């Protein structure tokens, strides 16, 4: 084709489209990401169905032009029109499902992540400013912006002279040499925040998160997601489960997040999106999720405890026993581990900035001791920190604790440097 000379180009129909037949000859196509609506002919729809599978230039030549299904000129003009409207996308140039907005105030002032330039595996920080999965408050969507603003305003910079940083300000009893080496070797990068259109549906947002998670982990990167409410963890884990077998989830939370109303059994919409209170139920159905390990569960909402396969609860009052024992060997050595940390795991006296506080959680120092035991020498393949809600915070107290937790969790990620 004259307009497309690069044989490496790969084209695919955008997955975020909704089709509606208007007549025998015309269809209405709605782009779910930007809300735009287009009218196209039935031949164009047939072409888009063919492009549902990624097609190379060689395939286009062989299966469309050489057999006379469409002329070279007509195909060139049609593809130009479809690509201009983001209905047909070139997979070698951009991803059809999501866009990441770069930022000037990157976390800890680390370098920006460029996926096409990455030669080494990286810890990649991505903000997910999404809170519509929590019906109590959507304020957690502000956290990815708030933490970056807080660190910038306080001149926190680990991009240079990291050798002189004393990370004992987090926990004087921990060894932070691994964390320091990660920063020195520039293995922590900030990609920015996922761009979420205000009018898009929850399902569309979750699809974007899933694709993002899948794309990062297939290349061996370690994503660190800044939520957002806890509903984002299901598409993240779903993406990881595409690339890792026997995935173990370590879940720190006051809630089991397996809550379902009995009414749902009668009125459940088959395509309804999950939410922050039932994301675990969906994760447990994923084939490659081997087991859920839930720590810190407490509160009256757990009175209707249900014994589910593939998960084990470590109740909040039993955590001190794990700390005293000094070992946690319930995960086979080398198994891939994903960490999801809900800030309400902590007692609200320490972390008030959350929409769903439950009294009786661990203190910050107790949490550090527990993390030391549970995460020691684990094969960590991804992390998220969720439900930090600036609307409920006091004097940025929870933002500061979240910062320390992010650094602490990073310190457990083992990478070849």
Helix/strand/coil for 322:
helix
Architecture in CATH of 10-90 = Alpha-Beta Complex (3.90)
Can you give the pTM of this predicted structure? 0.77
Q: What is the DSSP letter of 249?
A: E
CATH number for the segment(s) 100-411: 3.40.800.10
Three-state DSSP class for residue 336: strand
- Tell me if 257 sits within 8 A of 277, measured CB to CB: yes
**Burial grade of 203 (CB within 10 A; 0-12, 13-18, 19 or more):** middle
Residue recorded with tokens 């019906």: 135
- Closest to 71 in 3D by CA, of 60, 83, 84, 59: 60
Encode the chain (417 residues) as per-residue pLDDT tens digits.
333 444 457 888 888 788 999 998 999 998 775 567 889 999 899 999 999 888 888 888 889 888 888 898 988 898 888 887 778 887 766 444 677 877 889 999 999 998 888 889 999 999 999 999 888 899 999 999 999 999 999 999 999 999 999 999 999 999 999 999 999 999 999 999 998 877 778 888 899 999 999 999 999 999 999 999 999 999 999 999 999 999 999 999 999 978 665 545 544 555 556 665 679 988 999 999 999 999 999 999 887 777 788 999 999 999 999 999 999 999 999 999 999 999 999 999 999 999 999 999 999 999 999 999 999 999 999 999 999 999 999 999 999 999 999 999 999 999 988
Of the candidates 282, 274, 237, the residue with the CA atom closest to the CA atom of residue 384: 237
- Looking at beta carbons, which pairs linking 77-86 to residues 24 or more positions away fall under 8 Å? 78/44, 78/47, 79/3, 79/4, 79/11, 80/3, 82/44, 82/48, 85/31, 85/36, 85/38, 86/14, 86/31, 86/33, 86/34
Domain boundaries, the chain: 10-90, 100-411
- Angle 373-375-378 from CA coordinates, rounded to 5°: 130
Same fold for the domain at 10-90 and the one at 100-411? no
Element (H, E) at 126: strand 123-127
Length of the chain: 417
């Amino acid at each position: 084709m004259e307009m497309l000379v690069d044989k490496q180009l790969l084209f695919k129909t955008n997955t975020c489209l909704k089709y509606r037949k208007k007549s025998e000859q015309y269809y209405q196509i709605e782009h779910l990401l930007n809300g735009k609506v287009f009218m196209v002919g039935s031949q164009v729809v047939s072409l888009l169905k063919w492009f549902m599978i990624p097609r190379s230039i060689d395939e286009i030549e062989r299966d469309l032009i050489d057999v006379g299904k469409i002329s070279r000129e007509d195909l060139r003009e049609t593809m130009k029109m479809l690509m201009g409207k983001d209905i047909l996308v070139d997979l070698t140039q951009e991803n059809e499902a999501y866009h990441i907005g770069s930022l000037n105030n990157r976390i800890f002032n680390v370098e920006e992540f460029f996926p096409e330039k990455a030669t080494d595996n990286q810890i990649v920080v991505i903000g997910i400013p999404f809170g519509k999965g929590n019906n109590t408050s959507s304020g957690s969507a502000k956290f990815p912006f708030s933490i970056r603003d807080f660190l910038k305003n306080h001149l926190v910079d680990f991009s240079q002279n990291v050798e002189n940083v004393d990370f004992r300000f987090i926990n004087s009893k921990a060894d932070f040499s691994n964390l320091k080496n990660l920063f020195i070797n520039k293995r922590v990068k900030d990609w920015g925040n996922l761009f979420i259109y205000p009018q898009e549906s929850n399902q569309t947002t979750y699809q974007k998160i899933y694709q993002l998670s899948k794309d990062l982990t297939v290349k061996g990167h370690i994503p660190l997601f800044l939520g957002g409410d806890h509903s984002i963890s299901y598409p993240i884990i779903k993406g990881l489960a595409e690339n890792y077998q026997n995935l173990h989830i370590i879940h720190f939370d006051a809630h089991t997040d397996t809550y379902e109303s009995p009414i749902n059994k009668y009125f459940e919409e088959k395509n309804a999106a999950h939410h922050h209170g039932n994301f675990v139920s969906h994760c447990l159905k994923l084939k490659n999720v081997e087991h859920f390990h839930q720590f810190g569960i407490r509160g009256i909402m757990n009175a209707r405890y249900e014994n589910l396969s593939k998960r084990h609860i470590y109740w909040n009052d039993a955590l001190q026993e794990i700390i005293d024992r000094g070992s946690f060997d319930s995960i086979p050595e080398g198994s891939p581990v994903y960490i999801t940390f809900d800030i309400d795991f902590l007692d609200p006296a320490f972390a008030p900035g959350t929409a769903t506080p439950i009294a009786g959680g661990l203190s910050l120092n107790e949490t550090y001791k527990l993390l030391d035991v549970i995460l020691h020498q684990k094969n960590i393949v991804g992390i998220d920190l969720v439900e930090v809600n600036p609307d409920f915070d006091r004097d940025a107290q929870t933002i500061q604790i979240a910062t320390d937790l992010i650094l602490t969790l990073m310190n457990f990620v083992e990478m070849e440097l």
